[in-house]
Amino acid sequence: MRKLSRHERFIGPAAELAERGIVPEALLGAIAAALRFTDPADAEAAELAQILASSSPADATARITGLAPEHPLFAAVSTLVEERQAEGAKAPA
């Protein structure tokens, strides 16, 4: 969760690039990987899983990243969140 927050490792630099009109492809790949991280013993991973399981893509994106819907990075990250949620829905119980 911390690494996906607004001013941290992934979202911070990706947001800056998006604000400059640059699509942060590599950072989006890293964000997608971070969204797939699971570890029941990790409190932040458990919180991420709970948010992904119980929120719409837009709400989850805002809660996880702190990005506003009008931010130029929001739509790309929201798509990644939606894809992750779809993966989770298909995972065996």
What is the tens place of the pLDDT at every residue in 39-50?
989 999 999 999
Tokens 């009008």 map to which residue?
70
Of 35, 30, 33, 16, residue with least CA distance to 73: 16
The residues, any chain, with a CB within 8 Å of residue 19's CB and separated by 6 or more, are 71, 72, 73
Successive 10-residue mean pLDDT values, the chain, 93 residues: 93 98 98 95 95 97 97 98 89 52
Indicate the pTM of the whole model. Answer: 0.92
Identify the pLDDT of residue 91.
58
The residues, any chain, with a CB within 8 Å of residue 63's CB and separated by 6 or more, are 51, 55
What is the tens place of the pLDDT at every residue in 6-16?
999 999 999 99
